[in-house]
Amino acid sequence: MDRVITCVDVGSTWTKAVRVAPDGELLGTAQHPTTPPEVLRGIDAVTHAGDEVLLCSSAGGGLRLAVVGQERLVSAEAGHRVALSAGARVVHVSSGPLSGAGLRELRARAPDLVLLVGGTDGGDASVLLHNARRLAVNRLACPVVLAGNTAARAEALELLRSTGRVVVPCDNVLPDVGELAPGPARAAIRSAFLRHVIGGKGLSRGPRFRRLVRAVTPDAVLAGVSRFAALGGGEAVLVVDVGGATTDVYSAVSGVDDDVERTVALPPDRRTVEGDLGMRASAPGVVAEALAERLVEPEEARRLEAAALARAARVDRVPGDEAERAVDLRLAGLATVLAVRRHLRLVDGRLGPRGAGLLVLSGGVFRHAPSSEPVERVLRADPVLRPVLRSASVLVDRDHVLAPAGLLAEAGRTAAATALLRGLT
């Protein structure tokens, strides 16, 4: 007999759980503050003995990925697009042969993984091999996902491994000019993160947590968003997940994208993460950026800055009255506007000819608010977002089902994932 499944999302601030019957019926939800340096305490608090546990995590800041490519408009751009859809926060992109200054800049960004790309299959291999050689002898010790010119893969692999580097090779992200093949690189990034990175985040003392984690949270959410969009009859879906440390934006445009030609095609389902925009640890970044973008006047910014600093100092802070909840919603609205603006820039504003048909708001600030109307009003009034959201209906993911649905789908429980998502509509 199939067991009940508990899907757990370990975030930087909260650990959330959704309990699901084998047929996809939602049985209940729970949450507990995330408990570093031993996150298993929080996980055990939200799970039931005897349940099957599917777990994703973005605790510890998620996956920081650097892209090292050959030519920005081709290889580096392709690597960047792959990373956006692979659940990674892109912290650095370089193109051309790595210099000493370039390597110092790369180290300063402290990536968890390097995605090394360059050249089409059978094309120029000199830059790829140069960069492999420089990475091999550099002090940067993080794993490398090698996804460049397959004709040079064996030599690049030998260079990197000769100095003990952990390397995950895969097929080229750009096998031919204009042909983006993101699947193998996405899988390799996920594999490297789960096997080599998450255990080094200082979140748990033993191997149990590492064995439990099946995906980085944004990867699970992206899978859930993609499946949810497939249920929507061809409308573009935009999802904004405002967390304590980051604000993640997802767009799913399968079947509705226009035919504008590009050097490198966009993947149909995309994700960006903003590590300086959040409700607690990153709240000061929301205020600073809102002021820079002229979304707030200096007087309001001063008031919000004090509130943001208090929230950053106590990431487990829960609003105790209406005034506190109003401040949280204001910060959430600003974080959402800023994050969606950035997302649209990175995906060239392309959400189909009619913009988004559906906007989904996710995150504790929305789930616990009596109404999302104040945030919706801010979004629809923004001159940059107005054309994209002009005909969008709005839903709130009140039961936090997108990540669990993605976990279920990736575990082969597609019927349960679909049933869980239908409850969102």
CA dist 180 and 176 (Å) reads 8
SS3 187: helix
Asked whether 251 and 257 are in contact (CB, 8 A), the reply is no
pLDDT in tens, 25-69: 999 999 999 999 999 999 999 999 999 999 999 887 667 899 999
The encoded tokens of residue 336 equal: 């959402």
- 237-255 burial, b at 16+ Cβ within 10 Å, e below that, comes to bbbbbbbbbbbbbbbbbee
Give the strands of the sheet with 26-33, arranged side by side. 26-33, 14-20, 5-10, 52-57, 213-216
| Fold matches, 5-60+202-214 and 64-198 | no
170 pLDDT above the threshold of 60: yes
Peptide bond before residue 37 is cis, with ω within 30 degrees of 0 = yes
Q: What pLDDT is stored for residue 304 in this prediction? A: 98
Spell out the domain ranges in the chain. Answer: 5-60+202-214, 64-198, 218-403
265 pLDDT above the threshold of 70: no
CA proximity to 82, closest of 190, 160, 228, 166: 190
Q: What pLDDT is stored for residue 94 in this prediction? A: 93
More confidently predicted of 355 and 289: 289
Q: What pLDDT is stored for residue 366 in this prediction? A: 95
pLDDT band at 262 (very low <50, low <70, confident <90, very high): very low
pLDDT band at 225 (very low <50, low <70, confident <90, very high): very high
Q: What pLDDT is stored for residue 258 in this prediction? A: 47
Q: What pLDDT is stored for residue 86 in this prediction? A: 66
Q: What pLDDT is stored for residue 263 in this prediction? A: 43
Which helix (H) or strand (E) segment holds residue 416: the answer is helix 414-422
pLDDT band at 202 (very low <50, low <70, confident <90, very high): confident
Asked whether 424 and 233 are in contact (CB, 8 A), the reply is no
CA dist 270 and 50 (Å) reads 36
% the chain with pLDDT above 70: 94
Asked whether 66 and 98 are in contact (CB, 8 A), the reply is no
CA dist 20 and 404 (Å) reads 9
Which helix (H) or strand (E) segment holds residue 94: the answer is strand 89-95
Which whole number is the average pLDDT over 363-383? 93
Which whole number is the average pLDDT over 237-244? 94
DSSP conformation class of 152: G
Q: Which CATH class is domain 218-403?
A: alpha beta
Q: How many residues does the chain have?
A: 425
Q: What pLDDT is stored for residue 256 in this prediction? A: 54
Give the Å distances, CA to CA, from 104 to 98, 137, 143.
10, 13, 17
The residue to which tokens 């944004």 are assigned: 218
More confidently predicted of 353 and 147: 147
Asked whether 135 and 68 are in contact (CB, 8 A), the reply is yes
User: CB neighbours of 109 closer than 8 A, spacing ≥ 6?
Assistant: 64, 66, 91, 92
Q: Which CATH class is domain 64-198?
A: alpha beta
Mode of pairing for the β-strands spanning 247-252 and 89-95: unpaired
Q: What pLDDT is stored for residue 259 in this prediction? A: 45
> Which amino acid is it at 200?
G
Helices and strands (H, E) in the chain, number of each type = 16, 15
CA dist 113 and 252 (Å) reads 25
CA dist 144 and 192 (Å) reads 8
Query: How many CB atoms are closer than 10 A to CB 272?
Result: 24
> Which amino acid is it at 234?
G
Flag the least confident range among 59-73, 369-383, 390-404: 59-73
pLDDT band at 257 (very low <50, low <70, confident <90, very high): very low
What's the mean per-residue pLDDT of the chain? 90
Q: What pLDDT is stored for residue 233 in this prediction? A: 66
pLDDT in tens, 83-136: 766 667 788 999 999 999 999 999 999 999 999 999 999 999 999 999 999 999
The domain defined by 5-60+202-214 folds into: Nucleotidyltransferase; domain 5 (3.30.420)
pLDDT in tens, 176-186: 988 888 889 98
Query: How many CB atoms are closer than 10 A to CB 326?
Result: 13
